[in-house]
Structure 1
Amino acid sequence: MRAGHRRAARRLLTTLAGATAGILVTGPAAPPARAGSGAGEPLGTVARTVGHAHYQPGHCPRTADPTPGLNGARCGTLTVPEDRSRPEGRKITLGVATVPAAHRTADDPIVWLAGGPGDDAVSEIQLALDGNLNRDRDVIFMSQRGTYSADPALTCPGIDGFNARALALRHDARSTGRRHVGATRACHDELEARGVDLGAYNSTESAADYADLRVALGVEQWNVFGISYGTDLALLYMRLHPKGIRSVGIDGVLPPSLAGGAVTWRAAREGFDGLFDACAEQPACNARYPDLKGTFERLVVQLEDDPVTTTVPVPGRPEPAEIVLDGGALVNWLVSATHVAAGVPRSIDELAHGKPQRIAEQWAGGKLSPQAVGRLSHGLAYGVFCGEWTPFESRAEVIRAGHRAFPSFPRSVVANAPLLAFLHPDCRAWDVSAADDSVRDVTYSDIPTLVLSGGFDAQTAPSSGAYAARTLSRSTALTIPYVAHVVFADSPCAQSITRSFFDTPTAPDKGCLAGLKPPPFEIAP
């Protein structure tokens, strides 16, 4: 689900295996800005008010990490109503950065929709540029409401701190679960005390934000590229606001009609099996780690009954951290570790032989790193989870989905969907109204759409791409083998296909798929 989990996994697990834009034109009468067309001013440099939305050029937004891609970007803010049903009420501002095309500039830019929910698009600029997405088109990044570079930013570092402390606890509903809900309630109360209308942070409002941004920038037609939760948002956006959308790319697909805990169990099954099968197909891996799938599932049951406690060193901390590995922790570790698949068989084998350190270090790294604190917008995340997911899916349905995917797992493991522990109790504490039923509607569209999935995707499931493509009449649906969630981040082939798609949306070049090979798995001596 959360692209932040994916990035943290790749960044930390692999250790173990702004420019300012000037205001050139102001006022609503400014001419439309067409990206690179030579008509009007460069995209992102014109102030414009459209309805209740206002774009103002200015300083580039803050980012969670140094972002060289902001050098030369044209930046500003979009100001919109927090709640569009009360347009004269409280206003919020969303950071915007337009990165110019590296070479020729097509008239239709690309707008990037970040994942999460709760990740910050502006902080993902380098991810897009590493894939050369701006080769021929300007790429626009706008922080979704509540995220790191927006104002207000609904980040709640207290939840991140609790998640770090919980590494030393079991995934127990009675003790850890109550404390988890306590951290969520504290975040809720803090934001409400700041005057935030928590019910206004959702996908429907975010989709309207992007529709307003296109018009406020003076863009006649653009392309949309969404990753992870950004695919949920993209599918909703193209259904509610199709005007001006030339094409859509979605990568790591989470259809709104499926979003929730149940699909994460199916995703875990498909992603794990993809990795296990790839090992079995390599003679050296299969010989050294026979029945990897069976070994992993036995370990989940064993650790849930008798957890392992170990300590791991933490960079920047004087004392090692205590880590508890139970069955739920092992499942969540593997969901993230599919991003560094080459080392997974060896890590599972070491755990089976009484050596939990590799997995414990990897599992702890993403939560104990300073980069894990204060980045994710929990306010937006729970707005989506609790308004759009849990009202349409009972906890019993999640448990049944877990049992279907992993019949051997005990109830205490399947009670918490991967990466979504204690979600239903959390949502009772968050206390926002359910969205209209239509938020779960299937998207029917003839907008050309590229649907990308990864064969190792343990977060949103390869099959979810095919599901979404069924009602997109001009779609190209592809599964990139041997790659985990959000293939654009890790696959040069996926990057090439994506660039080709935006050039020719009805006929992308898929030739690179023929040469793909599985990763060479690590073989322990």
Structure 2
Amino acid sequence: MMSLSPLRRRRASRRLPAVLAGATAGALVLGLAAVPAQAESGAGAWLGTVARTAGDARFEPGPCPRTADPIPDLERAYCGTLTVPEKRSGHTGHKGGRKKIKLAVAIIPAANGRPAPDPIVWLAGGPGDDAVSEIPMALAGGLNRDRDVIFMSQRGTYSATPELTCPNVDEFVANNLDLVFGAPSTGRLHVAETRKCRDRLVGLGADLSAYNGTESSADYDGLRKALGIRQWNVFGISYGTDLALQYMRLHPKGIRSVGIDGVLPPSLAGGAVTWKAAREGFDSIFKTCEDQPACNTRYPNLKATFERLVVELEARPITTTVTVPGRPAPVKVTLDGGLLVNWLTFASHLAAGVPRSIDELAHGNPQRIAEQYAGGKLSPQAIGRVSHGLVFGVFCSEWTPFESEQDVIRAGRRLFPSFPRSVLANAPLLSWMHADCRAWDIPAAHPSIRDVTWSDIPTLVLSGGFDSQTAPSSGPYAARTLSRSTEVTVPYVAHVVFADSACAQQITVSFFDNPTGPDTGCLAGLQPPAFEIGP
């Protein structure tokens, strides 16, 4: 079953260590004040209270956007909407010209009350995540210490209009954990749900070919101009790094500096790089355990044990029953080799418990792994929040046309030669991607979408040593064509280091203060995790 927001699951998993993605849903937030008093000396002071138009983009002050969970910081935000064409390349048949869509905007003022003149704009991950929902992550890391931070929902996401979510696809995944993950029959059922959602969105009038990185890049360029900002800084996480690199290439004017964290270069994006990420991230965790005498003694040959379990479970899946917080009835989970690979991909965020979980499975106890996996899929944050319209808009126009299913299998076989073909056919977190894209049925992007970004804009390139989602090596790969870049790999941290590492947060904030000389001194004191040692 495809994890429809492949670069998003790690953020849900971070909230409750005991069960990945076990957070509870909160109340809906609606209609907060457009210009609260707190914003007058920070965000909005340079903007004013009137609508502004720049080219095809129009910003209008207004209520703060709805959010699935409460975000108290919106009470001090300056909010509004950006109206842009759904598709910029010609008319789409709507009376009066091109159809318009609205993107929610929330501006959080600088904490010090005296913001620098160049704010930071946040590019969310996913693809398909809602930027406004990531405000707590950004502020917890101190990103607004000296600068206002701007959050705009990417087109199709939860706080945008239209909202192109597919709850039926999420519910199919959540309600069928007892199906064999990699079975062709499971894939066919998943694709049928994808097609059902596509038909519904098209019936609502959405042009699905308009939800992609090219249009989103133009949206952000339009936002900067409509807000009257001469120069700003960009910070993108996960898929947001793909978008940031496209944005730098297509609309470089007005960008002072760029931070990218959990790097996914557009020229690499797809299934092959996720196999590469799995190899690098898994091996880093296994090697770190091997280097600790207590861990290596208790869990010897961890890498070989894991790969043996993948092969054995793919041949003979096992079903167990677990209890998930918030669910009154026990849940059946079937573990096969593909599910085990996907589990470790996001369990890398809780690396300290990985050796123990693998060892328990090897000794006939799958409970920890099954509980963690089910907790993620059954979390309220996994249902109805990701924009499948943007997910498949990106996957099916920018990724799959430039990488065949055989390319994915060959990449997986090169890196995991013992894995059976049935596992290799579904790259980590991208199960059934090509089949889903055939059902989504949108045109391929222009081949230039895969171009490498060459730029002299000062750029901070952040990677995590345990990153099993976009690969630690993707950072240096992107940095080689960014002539004024600072490339940093934070050891012992998984995908999107800003979310989990105080050191990464310090480096990032110092970078925006001094883009050519960020303070990286904290790296010298980092220590590996203390792995759990079971009985």
TM-score using structure 2 length: 0.94
Of residues 98, 102, 119, the one that matches 1:93 is 102
Matched, 1:209 2:219: yes
The AA in structure 1 aligned to 2:104 is G
| Counterpart check, 1:69 vs 2:73 | yes
Match of 1:322 among 332, 346, 361: 332
Partner of 1:151 in structure 2? 161
Distance 1:35 1:354, change over 3 A: same
Q: Which residue of 1 aligns with 2:443?
A: 433
Equivalent residue, structure 2, for 1:286: 296
- Distance in 2 between residues matched to 1:23 and 1:326, nearest whole Å: 52
What secondary structure does 1:168 align onto? Answer: coil
Structure 1 position 57 matched with structure 2 position 78: no
- State the Cα RMSD in Å: 1.8
Structure 2 distance, partners of 1:70, 1:41, is: 16
Quick one: distance in 2 between partners of 1:169 and 1:8? 23
Matched residue SS, 2:84: strand
Distance 2:49 2:519 in 1: 34
CA distance in structure 2 between the partners assigned to 1:255 and 1:43 by the alignment: 33
**How far is 1:13 from its partner?**
4.5
Given that residues 110 and 138 in structure 1 are in contact (C-alpha distance below 8 angstroms), is that contact kept between their aligned partners in structure 2? yes
C-alpha separation between the residues in 1 aligned to 2:407 and 2:483? 31
Q: Is 2:212–2:390's contact at 8 Å kept on the other side of the alignment?
A: yes
- Deviation per CA, 1:33-85, whole angstroms, max 9, x where unpaired? 99959xx9444744101122110001001112111221200000000000012
Instruction: Pick from 101, 121, 126 the counterpart of residue 116 of structure 1.
Output: 126
Cα distance in 1 between the residues matched to 2:348 and 2:469: 10
1:29 maps to what in 2? none
Whole-angstrom distance in 1 between the partners of 2:48 and 2:496: 28
1:373-384 paired onto structure 2 within 5 Å: 373-384=383-394
Contact 1:34 1:108 in 2 (8 A): no
* Match in the other structure for 2:94: none
The Cα shift of 1:316 comes to 2.6
Which of 14, 33, 36 aligns to 1:20? It is 33
Which residue does the alignment assign to 1:407? 417
The equivalences for 1:77-476 within 5 A come to 77-86=81-90, 88-103=97-112, 104-476=114-486
Q: Is the 8 A contact 1:35 1:109 kept in 2?
A: no
| Cα 1:2/1:139, change in 2 over 3 Å | farther
Deviation at 1:437, TM superposition (A): 0.5
Output aligned runs, 1:487-498, within 5 Å: 487-498=497-508
Measure, in 2, the Cα distance between the counterparts of 1:195 and 1:403. Answer: 42
- State how far apart, in whole Å, the 1-side matches of 2:326 and 2:485 are: 48
The answer on whether the counterparts of 1:23 and 1:58 sit within 8 Å (CA) in structure 2 is no
Distance 1:308 1:439 in 2: 42
Specify the alignment match of 1:48 in structure 2. Answer: 52
Letter in 1 for 2:58: H
Deviation (angstroms), 1:90: 0.9
Question: Secondary structure of the equivalent of 2:455?
Answer: coil
- Which structure 1 segments of 5+ residues have no match? 25-32
Q: Which moved more, 1:15-24 or 1:400-409?
A: 15-24
SS of 2:8's partner is helix
Counterpart in the other structure of 1:27: none
Percent identity over the alignment?
Answer: 72
Distance across 1 between alignment mates of 2:355 and 2:49: 51
In structure 1, C-alpha distance between the alignment counterparts of 2:245 and 2:447, rounded to whole Å: 15
Deviation of 1:501 after TM superposition, in Å, equals 0.3
Distance in 2 (alpha carbons) for counterparts of 1:467 and 1:494: 19
**1:249 counterpart SS class:** strand
8 A contact 1:271–1:457 mirrored in 2: yes
- Per-residue CA deviations over 1:278-334 (Å, capped at 9, x if unaligned) read 111111111111111111011101100111100111223221011000000000000
TM-score normalised over the length of structure 1 = 0.95
Q: CA deviation at 1:170?
A: 1.1
CA-to-aligned-CA distance 1:395-417 (integer Å, 9 cap, x gap): 00000011111111011101100
Q: Which amino acid aligns with 2:362?
A: A
Secondary structure in structure 2 of the residue aligned to 1:263: helix
Asked if structure 2 preserves the Cα contact closer than 8 Å seen for 1:34 and 1:218, the reply is no
CA distance in 1, matches of 2:45, 2:496: 34
**Contact kept in structure 1, 2:35 and 2:77, CA below 8 Å:** no
Structure 2 portions without partners, runs of 5+? 23-28, 92-96
Q: Is the 8 A contact 2:6 2:430 kept in 1?
A: no
Residue 13 of structure 2 contacts residue 19 of structure 2 at CA under 8 Å; is this kept in 1? no
Contact 2:182–2:423 (Cα < 8 Å) also in 1: no
Q: Aligned equivalents of 2:450 and 2:180: distance in 1?
A: 34
Residue-pair matches, total: 515
Please state if 1:10 is matched with 2:23. Answer: no
Q: Contact 1:2–1:229 (CA<8 Å) still a contact in 2?
A: no
CA distance in 2 between partners of 1:13 and 1:230 (Å): 25
Q: Cα–Cα, structure 1 residues 2 and 425, in superposed 2: closer, same or farther, change >3 Å?
A: closer
Q: 1:478 maps to which residue? A: 488
Query: 2:181·2:335 contact (CA, 8 Å) conserved in 1?
Result: no
List per-residue Cα deviations over 1:135-188 (Å, max 9, x = no partner).
Answer: 000000000000000000001100000111231111345200110110110010
User: AA paired with 2:34?
Assistant: A
Deviation sequence 1:115-154 (CA, Å, 0-9, x none):
0000000010000000010000000000000000000000
Q: Look up the match of 2:25.
A: none
C-alpha deviation, 1:365, in angstroms: 0.7
Distance across 1 between alignment mates of 2:443 and 2:249: 22
SS of match in other structure, 2:234: strand
Residues 44 and 511 of structure 1: is their aligned pair in 2 closer, same or farther, counting only changes over 3 Å? Answer: farther
Q: Deviations over 1:328-371 (max 9, x none)?
A: 00000000000011111111110011110000000111111222
Conservation of the 8 A alpha-carbon contact between 1:166 and 1:176: no
Q: How far apart, in 2, do the equivalents of 1:36 and 1:326 lie?
A: 52
SS of 2:508's partner is helix
